Structure 1
Amino acid sequence: MKRRKFLKGTGIVLGATAIGGLAGLNVINSKISENLDSSLLLKESNKWSNWSGGQVCEPSSFFIPKNEQDLINKLKTTSNKFRVVGGGHSFSPVVPTNDILSSLKNLNKIISIDKNAKEVTVQSGIPLSDLTPQLHKNGLAFLNQGDIDKQTLGGAVSTSTHGTGKDLQSFAGFVKKFKLIIANGEILNCSSEENSEIFYGGTVALGSLGIVTEYTVQLTDTYKLEEKVYPADLNETLDNFWNLVEENRNFEIFPFFYSDQVVVKTLNKTSKNITKVEQPFLSDDFLLALGLTLSGDSGSRTDKVQNLISGLIDSTSKINDSYKIYPSVRNVKFNEMEYQIPKEKGIACVREILKTGQKLKVPIFFPLEIRVVKQDDFWMSPFYKRDVMSISVHQFADKEYNKYFPIFHEIFKRYEGRPHWGKLSYYDREGIKKLYPKYDDFVKLRNELDPKKRFSNDYINKIFG
């Protein structure tokens, strides 16, 4: 939710006064921090941390290859386990390792652009925020994006990161082919025509089959989007949810645990002129940090603050090029769980999550995030062979989440929820196996390509054996 003036003058003043004047403002600002460069170790430390600080490890070495051949040489001359980090925006323990941790930050170049086919071949280590402006200059754009663009292309694809839209797939769905380097240093070119089993099994594989260094991705012509954000009645919106999905290219909602108001966000293509957006007096990050600070660890206080804020939400709209509309600035750190629920079960699941949170008086100020994603054919994709409703639960990075997230997990589990691979979940191997029809085929493929499990860590072993 971006650029909304959802707290106005008196609310801000009262809130800042309530937590102690200038001292209170310092507390608020301490919750806002710039994005961490996850391609480096923490300063004055041999440790690595993800963006939220929820995943930390101390690798035996940190390797940044100069180029693809440098990476191949490293694989051939060592026998260590090997994990790769992208933008560090995964909340799950998909990255941490005590062995070699590698960043592909130098593999960040566009190899070629085919404007007729609307395809780009690009190295996997490029951040989306660097790639999209370059694509725009060449008259091309992604069909869809999520609301964060700090991930690398490789990280976004391998975890099946997504945006929202009934006709729109995740980043994995845009992939036409990729180059995979396996444990012995061999290069495999994979597409639906060449090494097709590896293509469908390895596009979404969490880096467990090898290291992808290059993708060819399907794009589209550049386009503009009109974003509209507005408050609405929660129950009416849930009752009418799928009609609203049909009426909008991109549709998502943000329900609060303790409010009967919901924030609705729509994106639709437009030929209208780009609009000038006035910068608010206080940033959304500041306002979010204010709400988090006022709520504290009390469910009853969170109830009051959420109702205050939801009652002050304004309707806003803006128009810009797609790659500028999709991403949000996210400097208030949080941890997140997200599950993909079969479309027909989604609304019931949302209602139960909200009801349970209210009953438990959870001190979660963040709203839920509800999106929709089109199915694909990748074996370990959360969207394999089914259209879904995506439901996310967030908690501020410095607050306890393990008291409540496992309870929500059990609800998601009853609704056959598949976890987002880059976000927190509580499934073990047997739980994952029940959710993925091609699970055994994937495990067999992994055993063939990486028999010594060089590309594993504790999390990979937990879910794939």
Structure 2
Amino acid sequence: MRLMDWHNWSGSVTARPQAIAQPRDEAELRKAVLGAGKVRVRGAGHSFMPLCETGGTLIDMSDYAAPIEIAPDRKSAWVPAGWSLARLTEALWAEGLSLINQGDVNPQSLAGATATGTHGTGKDLGSLSTQVTAFELMLADGSLVTCDARTRPDLFEAQRLSLGLFGVATRIRINVLPAYYLEERVESRPLAEIAERWEDLAGATRHFEFFVFPYADHVIFKSLHPVESEAELERTTDIDERPFRIACEIGRAANFTIPSLQRLMMRLSQKPSRRVGPAWQIFPGDRTIRFEEMEYELPRADGIPTLLDAIGYIRKKRLPVAFPFEFRTVAADDIWMSPFNRGPGASVSFHQYARMPWRDLFAEIEPVLRGANGRPHWAKRHTLTARDVFDLYPKTGDFLKVRAEVDPSRKFVNADLARLFGIDAK
């Protein structure tokens, strides 16, 4: 173990745990768990909420020894929970397999992504949590248990989107597909066209999303669809960030230039692009410009109206928003604490350049995003209270009952989760 400061990817969450443990096997993990009063597990730090914050022991599972075990029917595999999606998807590809879906970045650990309901896009595709069929995890008492729909089913249902409240995930059984290739198309389209035709466009391809700057009238439209392989992939990311980085810095220094810069960037990005490659390489892009993020998941019919309301609000108030919105579709699920458990969803992500003020901006825009029956992504910025959580999620009581059963000493509860769920953290 070692003592050091920790911060998340954007730099907005910091902590100084008493120790950071990097267990390599079950015995080392058990020692770390039993020897600590408080425990949280870190992944890549891509949560913007203080989910990993602790004054106790912070556990890093990236070096934990857990081999990939592929099911005989090759439809699922036991995989290391602490591996990044980048490492996992490359390893699966070497075995002739792919994940069913991914988001557009891949540094996150699989355990962190499933624990927060992280998702990609696709009208018939759910979050990463929906692809999981079993967990192996170490509980607060040091016992290593397995849960699935038949074995300890209540623990499995709670663990599907757990926020790290039940134990340390060591292995996850996840559904997979035979390795496949994707064609990516990126082009500029009028916002008005997208707003009118988005359902047809989303239905025409396996993966549909777009980015829209609040002061521009065109969007960056992106679609992915399975195809046969072509020549070796030459370009490894979807969008060139260099002009955007310059625009962010100019906008930070002179807020009044932001509307003009956004319209200029869209005029310069009229040329469509196309690439084909392995799914694990096409799904993620390089996202090197640091930002802060808030994301609300909405009933699908409310998605575009809410996005347009938010754009209109920003323009009316002339708010200095440097980053684009991101719009995606996500399938319904039945996970206790999932924002998508009430039906098909639309996801609206709101970002701000991390080197610009964001707290007051997020406080101002959150009511607009939340007003249309929105539920926040658990790992993105939000201001839910315990009362909000109970109102929004009818299974919260069941979720907390399981938590109390497997962790009566509240070892895995940090201050913010105690606040969020009304738990006595002492």
Give the TM-score normalised by structure 2: 0.95
Question: What does residue range 43-442 of structure 1 map to in structure 2 within 5 Å?
Answer: 46-76=4-34, 78-107=35-64, 109-114=66-71, 116-274=73-231, 276-277=233-234, 284-296=240-252, 298-313=254-269, 314-442=271-399
Spell out, residue by residue over 1:333-374, the C-alpha distance to the aligned partner (whole angstroms, 9 max, x if none): 111111101112111111111111112212122110000111
**Contact 1:297 1:363 survives alignment (8 Å):** no
The 1:46–1:194 alpha-carbon spacing in structure 2 relative to 1, beyond 3 Å, is same
Give the letter for the 2:184 counterpart: E
Deviation at 1:49, TM superposition (A): 0.8
Give the letter for the 1:327 counterpart: P
3-state SS in 1 of match to 2:90: helix
Distance 1:438 1:449 in 2: 17
Distance 1:437 1:211 in 2: 25
3-state SS in 2 of match to 1:169: coil
**Contact 1:298 1:363 survives alignment (8 Å):** no
Give aligned-pair identity as a percent: 32
The 1:386–1:69 alpha-carbon spacing in structure 2 relative to 1, beyond 3 Å, is farther
Deviation at 1:286, TM superposition (A): 2.1
**Contact 1:110 1:120 survives alignment (8 Å):** no
**Contact 1:108 1:125 survives alignment (8 Å):** no
The 1:381–1:297 alpha-carbon spacing in structure 2 relative to 1, beyond 3 Å, is farther
Spell out, residue by residue over 1:290-342, the C-alpha distance to the aligned partner (whole angstroms, 9 max, x if none): 11012125543100100111111121011111111001111111111111011
Deviation at 1:278, TM superposition (A): 5.4
Gaps of 5+ in 2: none
Give the letter for the 2:156 counterpart: F
Gaps of 5+ in 1: 1-39
Give the letter for the 2:267 counterpart: G
**Contact 1:228 1:267 survives alignment (8 Å):** yes
Deviation at 1:274, TM superposition (A): 3.6
Distance 1:132 1:176 in 2: 18
Distance 1:356 1:450 in 2: 44
Corresponding residue number in structure 2 for 1:24 = none
3-state SS in 2 of match to 1:296: helix
Spell out, residue by residue over 1:8-41, the C-alpha distance to the aligned partner (whole angstroms, 9 max, x if none): xxxxxxxxxxxxxxxxxxxxxxxxxxxxxxxx98
**Contact 1:375 1:383 survives alignment (8 Å):** yes
Deviation at 1:133, TM superposition (A): 1.2
Distance 1:329 1:108 in 2: 28
Spell out, residue by residue over 1:199-251, the C-alpha distance to the aligned partner (whole angstroms, 9 max, x if none): 11111111011111111111001111110000011011111111111111100
Distance 2:186 2:79 in 1: 34
Deviation at 1:108, TM superposition (A): 5.3
Distance 1:387 1:336 in 2: 22
Distance 1:69 1:383 in 2: 37
The 1:108–1:267 alpha-carbon spacing in structure 2 relative to 1, beyond 3 Å, is farther
Give the TM-score normalised by structure 1: 0.87
Deviation at 1:284, TM superposition (A): 2.2
Distance 1:310 1:320 in 2: 26
Deviation at 1:148, TM superposition (A): 0.6
Distance 1:163 1:219 in 2: 15
Spell out, residue by residue over 1:54-89, the C-alpha distance to the aligned partner (whole angstroms, 9 max, x if none): 11101111111121221123323x351101101111
The 1:351–1:180 alpha-carbon spacing in structure 2 relative to 1, beyond 3 Å, is same
Distance 1:377 1:71 in 2: 31
Give the letter for the 1:294 counterpart: I
**Contact 2:24 2:65 survives alignment (8 Å):** no
Give the letter for the 2:297 counterpart: Q
Deviation at 1:400, TM superposition (A): 0.8
